Amino acid sequence: TKSAPPTATAGAEITYTLTVSNTGGLATGLTLTDTLSISATFIRAAGGIVPTARTLTWTTTTLPYQTLFTRTFVVTATAPITLYNRYYGVAAQGGYRVFAPLPIITRVE
């Protein structure tokens, strides 16, 4: 899942939270990715990672059954605009992939 506030003030920090829930067996080689909105300015991300070509990538070697893998990142927008964060997903060894069905939308006022 992914969450962010539906509205924000121009210049304020906007925190996105991504959570992977493992409801199956042991997941290995997990990769969580998120591509930043073109209108957002990157501030920081969990684990100190930085975007490459506007994409954030977190990895973990294992995610046990019934556990969560949660990461956050912070952006800002300096002018009124609507941010559409469309491209995020998770993949694991064995060909498992899940990508976002809908964008996360934040209206910056």
| pLDDT tens readout for residues 70-93 | 999 999 999 999 999 989 999 999
Instruction: With 0.85 as the threshold, say if the pTM is over it.
Output: yes
CB 83 within 8 A of CB 38: no
Burial class (CB in 10 A: 0-12, 13-18, 19+), 27: buried
pLDDT band at 25 (very low <50, low <70, confident <90, very high): confident
Instruction: Take residue 61 and report the two structure tokens written for it.
Output: 């070697």
pLDDT band at 24 (very low <50, low <70, confident <90, very high): confident
How far apart CA 40 and CA 104 sit, in angstroms, is 13
Please give the mean pLDDT across all residues of the chain: 93
pLDDT band at 60 (very low <50, low <70, confident <90, very high): very high
